[in-house]
Every structure is written in C-alpha cells, then in structure tokens.
Amino acid sequence: MLSENSMSIKSRLPLKIGILSLSLVVQAAGAVAAAVPFIMNDFSDRTTAQVQSILTLPSMAILIFILLSSWFIKALGKKRTVCLGLMIALVGGILPAFTMNFGLILFARILFGAGLGLFNSMTVSLIGDNFTGAEQKNLLGIQSAVMTLGNSLATFAAGLLLTISWQASFLVYLVILPILFLFLFGYRNVNENPVETTQSSTIDTKRRKLPLSVTLGILTLFLFFISLMVVITSSALLIQELALTNQGFLSTALAIAGIFSSLVALAFGQITKLLKRFTPVVVISFAMVGFFTITLAPTMTVFFIGLLVVYLANLVVPYVYSVILSDVDPEANNLVVSLAMVACNLGAFSSPYVINFISQLFGMTTAVMQVRIVAGIMAIIALIFLFLAFNKTTTPISKEEL
C-alpha cells in the first residue's frame, strides 16, 4: 500500500476524483433502456428477446471480464488496464449511434460490457491501494454514492437524447471521454508497486483459504442482491395486491429511494465509526422492518417510507468491500473484489429464479409473501454479520496464497 508521504496532499484530491469518476459509468449499461421500444420499431424483423439483449449482453460481458481483469492487470498494470477498459467501453458505447447493422450493435454492446468489466473491480481496489483507515471508509461510501448517482444521471441524459432519436441516446456514453482524462490526470504520479510491510513479510508461503470474514462477506453479497432485486421486480405487483392508490408514484418512489441511499452512503465513514462491526447488523435489521412495512402499508406514503428504510441496507456493499480491503493483502485486493462483484451480479441475475423456487416450495406465491421471504433472507444475513462481529480474528492473505 502506498506510504502516506509518497505523494503530496495537493495531489491526493485529483487522485480521489480520478478514481471515483470511474464509478460514474460502471452501472450505466441500462441507461438506454427507454430506447428499446424505438429500436424494436426499426428492427421489426427481430424478436423482442433479440432487441432486449441489447440491455442484457453488457451484463454478461461485464461478468466475464471482471474475472479476466486480474490477468490483464498482471500483464499491463492497473493504470493501463483501466485506460484500455475505458477506451473499449467508449468505442462500444457510442458505436450504435453510427450504425443500423443489428449484428454490429450487439457486438458493440458486448464490447461496452467488456470494457466496463476490465476496470469494474478497480473502482474499489484502487481505493484500497491508495488510502487507509477512516479516509478509505469515507471514499468507499462516496464510491457507492457516485455509482448510484452516475446510473441515474446517465439514464436521465439518455432520456433527453432519446427525444432526438434512439441512436442519439447512445451518445450518453461520450461521458467516458472526460472520465478517461480525469483518471489519467489524477493517477499520473502513482507508484503501483505496494510498499512491503512487516506484516506481509512475515506471512508464510503456505497456501491458505480466504479469511472467514471475506468468504462470508462475499456470500452475504450474493444473498443481499437476491433480496434487494425483489424490490425492483415485485414492487408493482405488491402495490396492486395491496390495492394502494396513486400507484403511478412507484417509479418516482424507487428513484427517490435510490438517491436517498446515495446520500446515506456519503456518511458511511461516520456511520461505521459509530457502529463499528455492528454496522451491517443494524442496517439489515432496519431493512427487515422496512420489508415488513411495505407488505402491510395501508397507503402509498407508508409504502414509500418503508422503501426508504429498505434502501438503508445498501450500506452493506461498501462495508463488505472495506472488510476485503482490510483483511486481504493489497496484492490480492483486486482478485477478491472481483469475486465479490461476481457474487453481486450472480445474486441480481438469479434473484427471480431463487425467490420463485422458494415461494413455490412453501406455497407462498403472492408478491406480499415473496417480500416476506426476502425479510427472512435478510434475517439470515444479519445473523451472519452478527457472528462475524463477535469473531474478528483475521490475518491478511496475499495473492500468491489464494
């Protein structure tokens, strides 16, 4: 990890901005979702599934290249890998704006996802490489907020460009160009060779497993995203079953809840300073209350309040990343963060299938009961974190030992 005096205080702000700016686009693959109906009109010979794959193909490519990113980093170094990823994502992102060849559009979306996947894990691991302690935790919270806000802003901007044409909406990805410049400017004086520490030099060369805290942390991310996706996939059915008035407010409520979650994430460092290792236990407990609240809501206002409480649980994500950065040797950070991000993506992807399987198994097929099943999964997550809070014995593990 870099020593504190390795760079001046003046140069650290551009470094922070450069690293955090990467998070603006990592969740922007779906920003052009509103263009799908218009694309279907122009490609009427294509099936609905084929057109919708414009949105899903980047996710598949992201998942694959998150796993491959460690090999690129080993060959090119982190800075060059990030720059390569940004340039690939830029080309793949804007290419659909200049072609009406459907096959080329699909290829461009795969290219876009591949580019994002190359630097996705480094939005977190670079924070671990360059910052420590409270500063690191604060930046992890900001990173989570920037990621959410970036997605919202990209979706909004793509919607404005959509008034010109569906092809113009893909020009939203031109934002990658200034991000590339910000990263190059902020990261220009960084030494990527971690400073050897006494602790790392005393680690034996025997191959070891991941620390329990990290293994269970990655597992909780998988379970967490299975649970959280239900809010998006089942909320519309839930408010119909509850026969709430003003159901059109749902999309606005979800957007506001996302922004609220981002604002809370900005205070992640202060929250963890107060609650320490019990941070995820507390926020997950609140989320459980929120899930039960939205299943019992008599009005849309109460539903909205419950939704805000549920979204507090998003603090789990930066918390697990902070555990990884503290419990894993710096040289292994990127690889383990990659595994954590794969767990997030697999959880989100498998959510409807897992929840449907559980609901069918217990004969609880209504949206109300599915949300209550999720509250039960949240209880399991809380118990895991409670166990970890009382079992904090970890020795950092290096990349060679994985």
Mean pLDDT of 210-232: 90
When pLDDT is cut at 50, 70 and 90, the band that residue 8 belongs to is: very low
Element containing residue 191 per DSSP (H, E):
none
Q: Please name every residue paired with 397 in a beta bridge, in sequence order, or none if there are none.
A: 328
Q: What is the pLDDT of residue 392?
A: 65
Asked whether the predicted pLDDT for residue 6 surpasses 60, the reply is no
When pLDDT is cut at 50, 70 and 90, the band that residue 1 belongs to is: very low
* CB atoms closer than 10 angstroms to residue 8: 8
What is the rounded average pLDDT for all residues in the chain? Answer: 86
Which tens digit of pLDDT belongs to each residue from 67-120? 999 899 999 999 999 999 999 999 999 999 999 999 999 999 999 999 999 999
Which tens digit of pLDDT belongs to each residue from 346-400? 888 888 889 889 999 988 888 899 999 999 999 999 999 999 998 865 444 445 5
Mean pLDDT of 308-329: 91
- The fold of the 11-192 domain, in CATH, is Growth Hormone; Chain: A; (1.20.1250)
139/353 Cα distance (integer angstroms)? 34
> Selecting from 1.20.1250.20, 1.10.357.10, 2.120.10.30, 2.60.40.1250, what CATH number does the domain 212-391 have?
1.20.1250.20
Alpha helices in 203-332 (DSSP H): 212-241, 250-266, 268-275, 279-296, 300-310, 316-327
- Sequence ranges of the domains in the chain: 11-192, 212-391
Asked whether the predicted pLDDT for residue 4 surpasses 50, the reply is no
Angle at alpha carbon of residue 276, lines to 273 and 282, rounded to 5°: 110
Q: What is the pLDDT of residue 189?
A: 67
Nearest to 386 by CA among 309, 286, 313, 280: 280
Q: What is the pLDDT of residue 11?
A: 53
Which tens digit of pLDDT belongs to each residue from 253-282? 888 888 898 899 999 989 999 998 999 999
Q: What is the pLDDT of residue 383?
A: 96
Topology match between the domains 11-192 and 212-391: yes
Q: How far is CA 342 from the centre of its chain?
A: 10
Asked whether the predicted pLDDT for residue 7 surpasses 50, the reply is no
Q: Give the pair of three-digit tokens for residue 319.
A: 């918390």
Nearest to 316 by CA among 121, 141, 98, 135: 141
Burial 159-182 (b: 16+ CB within 10 A, else e): bebbeeebbebbbbbebbeebbeb
When pLDDT is cut at 50, 70 and 90, the band that residue 227 belongs to is: very high
Q: What is the pLDDT of residue 198?
A: 37
> Between 179 and 212, where is the model more confident?
179
Which tens digit of pLDDT belongs to each residue from 319-356? 999 998 888 887 788 889 989 999 988 888 888 889 88
